[in-house]
Amino acid sequence: MRYIFKTAYDQDIRLAKHGGHVFWYGVLMLVLVAAPWLFPEYWLAQLTFVLIYSVVGLGLMLLSGFTGLFSLGHAAFLGVGAYTQAALTHHGVPAPIALIAAGLFSAAAGVIVGLPALRVKGIYLAIATLAFGFIVEEVFARWERVTGGNAGIHLSAPDVFGFKLDNDVSFYFACLVVTVLATLAILNLLRSPTGRAFVAIRDSEVSAQSMGIHLARYKTLSFAISAALAGVGGALYAHKLQFISPDQFNILQSVDLVLMIVVGGIGSVHGAFLGAIFLITMPQVIALGKDVLPAAIGQAPGLQGLVYGLVLIAFVLFEPQGLYGRWLKLRTYLQIFPFYRRGMFQRQKSYLKSDRLK
């Protein structure tokens, strides 16, 4: 059981709280940097997707997990980023510049979506984002001059000021850099006043206001940042697939993103990564399972949807804190063995009391 003896405020502020953090994350970074030489090509491609979805997941986690604003249309921002990247690179803009532009355009879209958020809460906001998602998907399909409509458009490999990232390894490193930067940015935000303001808004808007937090400004900011990250992820996604079409950014994709953060563990940065890993590996696991299951079940077309649904239900019922929550419990069990008690992470059962003012 590790006990941290604190002698300076800096220890609470810095990201690596103790030697163990430094060691394990260092090992992780080494593995990630060496990945192209450790993993076969197929798994490297999957890892690239995990990184891309992690970036998007970080944004959605900030919005839903830390600010408490639930978005059921986040795939729209993914799409805005992807199409912006496609349009700009077609006109010869270097990929990094286009990437920044994709982030900015998505942030602008986020601000626009955030505007109704200022006046509505909870389910109303979720429906508003759902509506926005559908509308944006339709815009992608109709605005053929820019997006190529339902036929979709192709992208070439990203061009970093003349240096073409046309193989898997170089593109993987680009994604790794972006992911690391995004993670550090989010972690920095969370340990400073802005991040705390987000958490305050999630937990109690009334007292956040009385502490001087401008609700409208911070909610809009949260939307903007999360949309920007989704846009950057979308741009990378576009380059990875080298082809995008409107139906890749539909309600199912939005639900996948939300599923990702719920399964990963709402309210934790780790959750975004664990959720991304889950999202990318689940189809692989199902594919493996297909060989084991009897043909009637294994080869049936609806299997993936069924499994996703069951996993989602299982997590909400049995592990509401997600994969990260399960990891925390496991780690605590190992750390304080044999003193772990079953009810340690038990949530207080609360009775429904209507927030509606009659």
Partner 1 sequence: MQALQIVISGIAQGCIYGLIALGVVLIYKATETVSFAQGELMMLGAFIGLLLMTALGFPFWIAFAAAVVAMGAFGIALERLVIRPILGQPAFSIVMLTIGIGYVARGAITMLPGLGTETHTLAVPYKDQVWNAAGLVLNVEQMVIIAATLVLSAVLYAVFKHSKVGVAMQAASQNQLAAYYMGIPVKRLNGLVWGLAAVVAAVAGLLLAPITFVHANMGFIGLKAMPAAVVGGFGSLPGALVGGLIIGVVEAMAGFYLPEGFKDIAAYVVVLVMLVVKPNGLFGEKLRKKV
Partner 2 sequence: MTDLLLSATDLSVRFGGVLAVNQVSFDVKRGEVFTLIGPNGAGKTTVFNLISRLYTPTTGAIMFEGRNLAEHAPHDIARLGIARTFQNIELFEHASVLQNLLIGRHTHRQTGLWSELFFTRPTRAAEIAAREKVEQVIDLLDLQHHRESLVAGLPYGVRKVVELARALCTEPKLLLLDEPSSGLNVEETDDMAFWISDIRHELGITVLMVEHDMALVSKVSDRVLAMNQGEVLAMGTPGEVQRHPGVVEAYLGSTDDVASLRRTVLA
Footprint on this chain of partner 1 (rule: CB under 8 A): 64, 70, 116, 119-124, 126-128, 130-132, 134-135, 138, 141-142, 205-206, 251, 255, 258-259, 262, 266, 296-297, 300-313, 316-317, 320, 347, 349-358
Give the Cα separation of 54 and 232 in Å (integer).
Answer: 11
CA geometry: angle at 306 spanning 299 and 295, to 5°?
20
With beta carbons less than 8 A apart as the criterion, state whether 178 and 56 touch.
no
* For partner 2, the closer CB: 150 or 207: 207
Complex with partner 1: residue 219 or 239, whichever CB lies closer: 219
Which member of 189, 229, 277, 323 binds partner 2 (CB under 8 A)?
189
Name the residue nearer to partner 1 (CB basis): 30 or 300. Answer: 300
User: Pairing relation of β-strands 163-164 and 243-244?
Assistant: unpaired
Using CB under 8 A as the binding rule, whether residue 204 contacts partner 2 is answered as yes
Which CB atom, from 67 or from 147, has the smaller least distance to partner 2? Answer: 67
Smallest separation, CB 20 to partner 1 (Å): 31
Closest approach, Cβ 352 to partner 1, in A, equals 4
Q: Is 199 in the site for partner 2 (CB under 8 A)?
A: yes
197 binds, among partner 1, partner 2, none (CB under 5 to 8 A by kind): partner 2
**Rounded to the nearest whole angstrom, what is the least distance from the CB of residue 65 to partner 2 in the complex?**
10
CA count, 13 A, side-chain hemisphere, 138: 6
Residue type, 21: H
The two three-digit tokens of residue 334, written as one number: 């190992």
> Which of partner 1, partner 2, none does residue 130 bind to, with CB < 5 to 8 Å depending on kind?
partner 1
Residue 62, Cβ density class (10 Å: 0-12 exposed, 13-18 middle, ≥19 buried)? buried
Burial of residue 59 (number of CB atoms within 10 Å: 0-12, 13-18, 19+): buried
Closest approach of partner 2 to the CB of residue 218, in Å: 9
CA-CA distance, 65 to 198, in Å (whole number)? 10
Sign of the CA dihedral with 227 first, then 232, 233, and 235 last? positive
Tokens of residue 120, six digits? 């509505």
Return the number of the residue (162 or 301) whose C-beta is nearest partner 1. 301
The residue among 21 and 142 lying less far from partner 2, judged by its C-beta, is 21
In angstroms, rounded to a whole number, what is the distance separating the alpha carbons of residues 86 and 231?
Answer: 12
The binder of partner 2 chosen from 188, 242, 299, 335 (CB under 8 A): 188
Give 210-236 as a 3 state SS string: HCCCCHHHHHHHHHHHHHHHHHHHHHH
Whole-number minimum distance, CB 312 to partner 1, in Å? 3
Tell me how far apart the alpha carbons of residues 278 and 297 are, in angstroms, rounded to a whole number.
22
Sole window of 126-134, 149-157, 205-213, 239-247 interacting with partner 2 (rule: CB under 8 A): 205-213
User: What does 194 interact with, of partner 2, partner 1, none (CB < 5 to 8 A by kind)?
Assistant: partner 2
Binding mask 252-271 for partner 2 (x = CB under 8 A): ---------------x----
Distance of CA 181 to the CA centre of its chain: 14
Q: Are 262 and 175 in contact (CB under 8 A)?
A: no
Over the window 328 to 357, marking each residue x when it contacts partner 2 by CB under 8 A and - when it does not, the resulting string is --------------------x---------
Tokens describing residue 164: 């073409």
